[in-house]
Amino acid sequence: MGTSMKYKMLLIIAILFVTGCTPTEQVSNSENQKKLISNQEDIYIGFLLDTLQDERWYNDKELFEGEVEKLGGRVKTLAANGSSEVQISQAELLLEEGVDVLVVVPQDAESSAVIVEMAHEKNVKVVSYDRLIRNADLDYYISFDNEKVGELQATEILNHVSSGEFAYVGGAESDNNAVLFRAGAMKVLQPLIEKGDITLVSDGYTDGWNPAVAEENMDETLRRNGNQIDAVIAANDGTAGGVIRALAKVGLDGQVPVSGQDAELAAVQRVVNGTQTMTVYKSINMLAEQAASVAMRVAKQEEIETNHTIENGKVSVPSILLEPITVTKDNVKETVIKEGYLKEEDIYK
């Protein structure tokens, strides 16, 4: 073989060698992705929120971050401001930053399934926080017994008015929790509706949980019904606030029982002042503590003990469900104040 031919053969072998190695190097780089934190040994948790526009989610953010850091982890929180597309992009960003676990408050129960798919492609597990991600191979769900929330709301309203014309003001239909709250309330109300004791003059969801939308919907209900309404079951404190503003316009605030949920400061102030009948306290401290603990243990590949499974349309999701608590003006001090969730001087001012 001549010198020229030998050179060509060596060149071909070199090209084949380099070409063959490139995919292996790419896989290695993918598997050894660096975390966007200074200490690569630290557990890095991504926390995705739907919004920070409601008071309660600020509390969740602070409590969850504090719990993760107390357990020795690092956490980055991003809020989607009510946009499913933004939340998906934020999930992609956190996955690129090398998070070990994603904890998600889904903006939309259905479209958030893609977040689970993206995470699993990178061998990252997903914990659904407070709201359930539907139709996905979700790893864990931590929340409250949300049907029980609706049952508590309807039961307390019936303690004040047991018959007449009722309105149900739901949350966002895209939020699976809103569907569960309504299901729980209807368990209590349906027998009375069938007996004819209660007439449901309005029954609908509220786009984006927006209090202004709840107010507009209540305005329309009052106009349509000649300002006659005996009770309102509102799915959370934001929608309750909108309902109460609508009732105030026709002089019915404080006259019509209204439920709520989340134990927001403004709502608890309304409860003690008599314009809102009740709220439901879901111990955010407990929720954040449990979620942080689960996220850290998942990252360490430790066994997770759960007390329920919840069907999300695709799989039975291992779940931890916590108990909600009714708050009225009679037990404010024994609930939200005693737990340190709200301060007495802020409520009674």
Q: Tell me the pLDDT tens digit for each residue of 258-313.
A: 999 999 999 999 999 999 999 999 888 899 999 999 999 999 999 999 999 999 99
pLDDT at 41: 85
pLDDT reading at 11 higher than 70: no
Q: What is the pLDDT of residues 45-87, one digit of tens each?
A: 999 999 998 878 988 999 999 999 999 999 999 999 989 999 9
The 10s digit of each residue's pLDDT in 99-154 is 999 999 999 999 999 999 999 999 999 999 999 999 999 999 999 999 999 999 99
Least confident of 2-6, 136-140, 162-166: 2-6
Is 2 or 331 the better-scoring residue by pLDDT? 331
Report the 3 state secondary structure along the chain: CCHHHHHHHHHHHHHHHHHHHHHHHHHHHHHCCCCCCCCCCCCEEEEEECCCCCHHHHHHHHHHHHHHHHCCCEEEEEECCCCHHHHHHHHHHHHHCCCCEEEECCCCCCCCHHHHHHHHHCCCEEEEECCCCCCCCCCEEEEECHHHHHHHHHHHHHCCCCCEEEEEECCCCCCHHHHHHHHHHHHHHHHHHHHCCEEEEEEECCHHHCHHHHHHHHHHHHHHCCCCCCEEEECCHHHHHHHHHHHHHCCCCCCCCECCCCCCHHHHHHHHHCCCCCEEECCHHHHHHHHHHHHHHHHCCCCCCCCEEEECCCCEEEEEEECCEEECCCCCHHHHHCCCCCCHHHHCC
pLDDT tens digits for range 177-203 = 999 999 999 999 999 999 999 999 999
| Per-residue model confidence (pLDDT) at position 34 | 82
* Span 12-32, average pLDDT: 35
User: pLDDT band at 5, cuts 50/70/90?
Assistant: very low
Q: What is the pLDDT of residue 340?
A: 87
The pLDDT of residue 29 is above 70: no
Q: What is the pLDDT of residue 272?
A: 97
